[in-house]
Amino acid sequence: MYNRGIRGATSVTQNDEQEILQETVTLLKEIVIRNEIEPEDICSVWITMTGDLDATFPARAIRQLEGWDLVPLMCSVEIPVQGSLPQCIRFMIQVNTEKSQREMKHVYLNDARKLRPDLSTTSN
**Known catalytic residues?**
7, 63, 75, 78, 90, 108, 116
Tell me the CA distances in angstroms from 2 to 41, 46, 79, 98, one per residue in order.
Answer: 11, 18, 28, 6
Could you read off the pLDDT of 36-86 as tens digits, one per residue?
Answer: 999 999 999 999 999 999 999 999 999 999 999 999 999 999 999 999 999
Residue 60, annotated ligand binder? no
Q: Looking at the predicted structure, is the pLDDT value of residue 123 above 90?
A: no
Residue 108, annotated ligand binder? yes
CA nearest to 26, candidates 70, 91, 76: 91
Residue 34, annotated ligand binder? no
Architecture of domain 2-117: 2-Layer Sandwich (3.30)
Question: Which segments within 61-101 are labelled E, that is strand?
Answer: 73-77, 88-97
Instruction: Report d(CA 87, CA 69) in Å as an integer.
Output: 26
Structure pTM? 0.92
Alpha carbons within 13 angstroms on the beta-carbon side of residue 121 total 3
Domain borders along the chain are 2-117
